[in-house]
Structure 1
Amino acid sequence: MSQDAMELDDIDRHLIRALCEDATQSAGALGREMGLSQPATWRRIKRLKELGIFGPRRVDLDLEGLGFGVTVFLGIKLATKGRVSLEDFERAVRAIPEVQTVQHVLGLFDYRLRVVAQDLPDFERVLRRRIMTLPGVGNVEANVLLSEERRPGPI
């Protein structure tokens, strides 16, 4: 984090919270809510983007609405790290469309994946045909998501 990123004031923090709740809000509407002009609000948003506070814009999809009724978290332990490079595994796993996130972690497993599927038989197909055939996969532990109470948002 740069030195500038450490110098966030209350207005910056308010902007971050407001845009995390609804990123479609205009700079004019946000400014009116905070007592700032549209140009002043836009300059602050631009500065926050330049500081790297905001990443690329994305659409938050309703996975169930798209037919993905199952989310599974997989812990993956590579069989032999020396024989298969981490880059080879990461490149291969990123090519699987059902894998939503790939996290290299410290602990019992080497990687944690978030995988979506239409249903459990579809997940089993993805697991057997795509994930278990990845280079270096050793132990795999699956945890099926039952509910999600909070999604990532402002700190």
Structure 2
Amino acid sequence: MIDLDDTDRAILRALALEAGVSAGALGRRFGLSQPAAWRRVKRLEEAGVLAGVQVDVDRAALGFGVTVFLGVKLATKGRVSLEDFERAVAAIPEVQVIQHVLGLFDYRLRVVARDIADFERVLRRRIMTLPGVGNVEANVLLTEERRPGPLG
């Protein structure tokens, strides 16, 4: 684990909000020279704290106006391997995130669709026909607020 000071945490918060910000801009924002800011970012990358750059795609602008979180409980855990289920669900392009979780459900899926009718089609024709699917619970996303994470 790497020791982080307040400046490191501030840099991480800034990068979480705007991944493409330059080292020069980070330096000006936090009272560092451009090389000093670059060295801090490089150190965070080398320590594995920064694992990559992420681009946020505006799904609504692409015509995907509905996001649904699905809780999926497998009906026959012994008959269908988790790997088989994961492989099958990963082949569905509308499924953006697959999380294997503990609790009431075995999986949590983030599904995008053009509208509710499109989501119903994906649910009925693709997700409910997957091997081993038992109970499914859907939660439609109304709003989303992003936070940079537990950085102090």
For Structure 1 versus Structure 2, the TM-score category normalised by the shorter chain is over 0.9
Q: Work out the CA distance in 2 between the residues paired with 1:140 and 1:69.
A: 21
Q: Work out the CA distance in 2 between the residues paired with 1:10 and 1:68.
A: 39
In the alignment, structure 2 segments of 5+ residues that lack a partner are none
Q: Work out the CA distance in 2 between the residues paired with 1:17 and 1:38.
A: 18
Aligned-residue Cα RMSD (Å) equals 1.2
Alpha-carbon deviations, 1:23-72, whole Å to 9, x = none? Answer: 22110111122222211211111111122212221210111111011111
Partner of 1:67: 63
In the alignment, structure 1 segments of 5+ residues that lack a partner are none
Q: Work out the CA distance in 2 between the residues paired with 1:95 and 1:85.
A: 16
Q: Work out the CA distance in 1 between the residues paired with 2:87 and 2:48.
A: 25
Residue among 95, 99, 105 paired with 1:99: 95
Partner of 1:153: 148
2:148 maps to a residue whose letter is G
1:55 maps to a residue whose letter is A
Tell me the TM-score normalised to structure 1 length.
0.91
1:151 maps to a residue whose letter is R
Alpha-carbon deviations, 1:80-113, whole Å to 9, x = none? Answer: 1111111111111112111111111111110011
Q: Work out the CA distance in 1 between the residues paired with 2:50 and 2:83.
A: 27
Residue among 117, 121, 126 paired with 2:122: 126
Look up the SS of the partner of 2:79 in the other structure.
coil
Residue among 34, 38, 42 paired with 1:38: 34
Look up the SS of the partner of 1:141 in the other structure.
strand
